[in-house]
Structure 1
Amino acid sequence: MADHKFNVTIVTPDGTIYDKDTTMIILKTQNGEMGILPNHIPVVASLQIDAVRVQLEDGEDKIAVNGGFVEFSDNAASIVADSAEIPEKIDVTRAQSAKTRAEQHIQHAHEVHDKDELARAEVALKRAINRLSVSQK
Structure 2
Amino acid sequence: MADQMTVQVITPGGICYEHHANFVLLSTVDGEMGVMPHMIPTIASLRIDELKVRRVDDEEHVDWISVNGGIVEVRNNLVTIVADSAERDRDIDVTRAERAKRRAENELQEAEKQSDIDAVKRAEVALHRALNRLNVSGHK
Q: TM (normalized to structure 2)? A: 0.94
Choose the corresponding residue for 2:100, options 95, 98, 104: 98
Q: Give 1:31's aligned residue.
A: 30
What do residues 72-128 of structure 1 show as CA deviations (whole Å, max 9, x unaligned)? 000110000000001121111110000001111111111111100000000000100
Q: Deviations over 1:26-68 (max 9, x none)?
A: 0000101000111100000010000010012232110000011
Q: For residue 60 of structure 1, what is the aligned residue in structure 2? A: 62
Q: Does 1:72 align with 2:71?
A: no
Distance in 1 (alpha carbons) for counterparts of 2:2 and 2:33: 20
- Aligned partner of 2:117: which letter? K
The reply on whether 1:132 has 2:138 as its aligned counterpart is no
Following TM superposition, where does structure 1 have runs of at least 4 consecutive aligned residues deviating by more than 4 angstroms? none
- Runs (5+) with no aligned partner, structure 2: none
Give unmatched runs, 5+ long, in structure 1. none
* Distance in 2 of aligned mates of 1:87 and 1:55: 14
CA distance in 2, matches of 1:53, 1:31: 17
Q: Secondary structure at the match of 1:38?
A: coil
In 1: Cα distance, 2:54 partner to 2:8 partner: 13
CA distance in 2, matches of 1:16, 1:113: 40
2:112 to 107, 110, 113: 110
Determine the C-alpha separation between the residues in 2 that align with 1:90 and 1:59.
Answer: 18
Output the aligned Cα RMSD.
0.8
Corresponding residue pairs, total: 136
Q: Per the alignment, in what secondary structure is the counterpart of residue 39 of structure 2? A: coil
| Paired residue type of 1:123 | V
Identity %: 48
Tell me which residue corresponds to 2:84. 82
TM-score of the aligned structures, taking structure 1 as reference length: 0.96
